[in-house]
């Protein structure tokens, strides 16, 4: 690779968070409860009936009250883009009201104004694992067709309100997660043991229609809007050269590409129709659904953390600790403290695969390393974290991103996950830290909530300032 390589002009460098993992203030200014308020131990464990004190997200990092301080720190790093989400239950506390909550709308007005003050583009996820709890309990979430109407009302409210402040939107976070985690990904209250494939895939269809409807409405309200889908991207390799393993890879890939195919092409692909038929699933299309699905996305965004393998051999089908959407661990790869396998080249591979398939701009909106950080005092008396492991992880991934761009992939931007420490979605811990900024809060609830710049803060500032050329310095 050329040592003088620079990322494209206008490349959107930044970072990502979600409302439910940073904001706190879970009942403030009229906000209603969402599913995140009753998930004190993350997405792998059952929810509680009511919010409980051990739920770190109820306070999170108190971004709701400290957003000005935090946006200023991101601006200091030179952020061009800040991906966050709107908490649906701040705007419609129960989800099925006719009128939005003005105080909720005002908070995001203030936040987006603060971003724009520093020239930071907000990239806003409309629904990020925070379905209003009332919609879950009253309607069974996205299993119910009525959700499309509730989502449409919410979408119109925020598109109208922020049409001059937000240009970039994502319809659903990691939409393909619904297959493995229907409560988190689809607000579906029916227990997975009782949830039929018919009901699950009908819920997926409702989300597809809602997503396409958001694209349609958005382009009507402001033709300059860029609206994308967002998926978990995970390269899948055969565990052995056995052709049966390769067919398993193809079938596993189809589970994910089915989501991008519908979003980008506007119809169900043949292999998806076969899967539905083979499993006795008949998707109910309402009149007009087929036409709505033709409102396709402007770009594809994705999270990338790991790759996995597939095998047809039942004896080798061992689920990886960190593999949230299936797959078996790759014996050739190292893993993070949480069992997520580290594969920088997998990022180049998946970028090429997606771009070859769709010829649509891509946007990496999550990538990062969850690790245990130690706050120390340096020789100048400043509190910091020497997180060379995070710097190395991000650098190795960004070098592969540069390779993919040279391969011809059109990439809009790169936003690391958890640019400021937040509460983990998978485990609901603070100790699993991703940020460039350390937040003094711990899993026992202690801490001052003070913010401290880690070593990676200054490293990423340099990457952004040099538009990526610092990655190639010896």
Q: How far is 194 from 199, CA to CA, in rounded Å? A: 10
Q: What is the 3-state secondary structure (H, E, C) of the chain?
A: CCCCCCCCCCCEEEEECCHHHHCCCCCHHHCCCEHHHHCCCCCCCCCCCCCCCCCHHHCCCCHHHHHHHHHHHHHHHCCCEEEEECCHHHHCCCCCCCCCCHHHHHHHHHHHHHHHHCCCEEEEECCCCCCEHHHHHHHCHHHCCHHHHHHHHHHHHHHHHHCCCCCEEECCCCHHHHHCCHHHHHCCCCCCCCCCHHHHHHHHHHHHHHHHHHHHHHHHHCCCCEEEEEEECCCEEECCCCHHHHHHHHHHHHHHHHHHHHHHHCCCCHHHHHHHHHCCCCCCCCCCHHHHCCCCCCEEEEECCCCEEECCCHHHCCCCCCCCCCCECCCCCCECCCCCECCHHHHHHHHHHHHHHHCCCEEEEECCCCECCCCEECCCCCEECCCHHHHHHHHHHHHHHHHHHHCCCCEEEEEEECCECCCCCCCCCCCCECCCEEECCCCCCCCCCCEEECHHHHHHHHHHHCCCHHHHCC
Question: How far, in Å, CA of 94 to CA of 160, rounded?
Answer: 20
Q: Which residues are bridge partners to 230 per DSSP?
A: 301
Of the candidates 23, 130, 310, 366, the residue annotated as catalytic is 366
CA distances from 427 to 146, 189, 290 (A): 31, 20, 38
Look up 310 and say whether it is catalytic: no
238 — alpha (psi -120 to 50), left (phi > 0) or beta? beta
Q: Which of 174, 207, 310, 403 is catalytic?
A: 174
Task: Reply yes or no on whether 174 is catalytic.
Answer: yes
Torsion sign across C-alpha atoms 197, 199, 205, 210: negative
- Backbone phi, then psi, for 23, in 5-degree steps? -70, -45
State how beta strands 362-366 and 226-232 pair: unpaired
Distance between CA 199 and CA 193 in Å, rounded?
12
CB 115 within 8 A of CB 121: yes
Active-site positions read 174, 366
């Amino acid at each position: 690779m050329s040592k003088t390589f620079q990322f494209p002009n206008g490349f959107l460098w930044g970072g990502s968070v979600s409302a439910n993992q940073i904001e706190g203030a879970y009942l403030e200014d009229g906000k209603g409860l969402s599913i995140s308020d009753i998930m004190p131990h993350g997405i792998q464990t059952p929810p509680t009936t009511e919010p409980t004190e051990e739920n770190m997200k109820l306070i999170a990092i108190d971004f709701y009250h400290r957003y000005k301080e935090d946006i200023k720190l991101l601006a200091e790093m030179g952020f061009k883009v800040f991906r966050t989400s709107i908490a649906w239950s701040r705007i419609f506390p129960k989800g099925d009201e006719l009128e939005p909550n003005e105080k909720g709308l005002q908070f995001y007005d203030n936040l987006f104004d603060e971003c724009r003050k520093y020239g930071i583009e907000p990239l806003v996820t409309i629904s990020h694992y925070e379905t209003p709890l009332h919609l879950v309990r009253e309607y069974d979430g996205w299993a119910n067709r009525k959700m499309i109407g509730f989502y449409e009302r919410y979408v119109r409210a925020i598109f109208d309100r922020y049409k001059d402040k937000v240009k970039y939107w994502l319809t659903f976070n990691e939409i393909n997660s619904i297959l493995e985690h229907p409560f988190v990904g689809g607000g579906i209250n029916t227990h997975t043991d009782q949830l039929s494939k018919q009901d699950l895939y009908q819920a997926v269809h409702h989300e597809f229609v809602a997503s396409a409807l958001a694209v349609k409405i958005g382009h009507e309200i402001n033709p300059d809007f860029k609206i994308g889908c967002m998926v978990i991207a995970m390269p899948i390799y055969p565990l052995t050269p056995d052709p049966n393993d390769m067919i398993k890879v193809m079938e596993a890939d189809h589970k994910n590409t089915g989501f991008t195919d519908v979003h980008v092409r506007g119809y169900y692909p043949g292999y998806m129709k076969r899967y539905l038929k083979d499993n006795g699933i008949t998707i109910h299309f309402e009149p007009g659904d087929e036409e709505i699905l033709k409102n396709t996305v402007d770009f594809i965004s994705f999270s990338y953390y790991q790759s996995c393998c597939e095998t047809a051999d039942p004896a080798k089908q061992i689920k990886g600790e960190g593999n949230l959407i299936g797959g078996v661990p790759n014996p050739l790869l190292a893993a993070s403290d949480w069992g997520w396998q580290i594969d920088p080249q997998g990022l180049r591979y998946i970028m090429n695969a997606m771009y070859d398939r769709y010829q649509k701009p891509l946007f990496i909106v999550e990538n990062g390393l969850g690790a245990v950080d130690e706050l120390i005092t340096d020789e100048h008396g400043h509190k910091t974290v020497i997180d060379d492991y995070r710097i190395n992880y991000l650098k190795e991934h960004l070098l592969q991103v540069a390779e993919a761009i040279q391969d011809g992939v059109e990439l809009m931007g790169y936003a690391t996950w958890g640019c400021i420490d937040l509460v983990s979605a998978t485990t609901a811990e603070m100790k699993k830290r991703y940020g460039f900024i350390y937040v003094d809060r711990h899993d026992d609830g202690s801490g001052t909530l003070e913010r401290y710049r880690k070593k990676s803060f200054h490293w990423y500032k340099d990457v952004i300032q040099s538009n990526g050329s610092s990655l190639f310095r010896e």
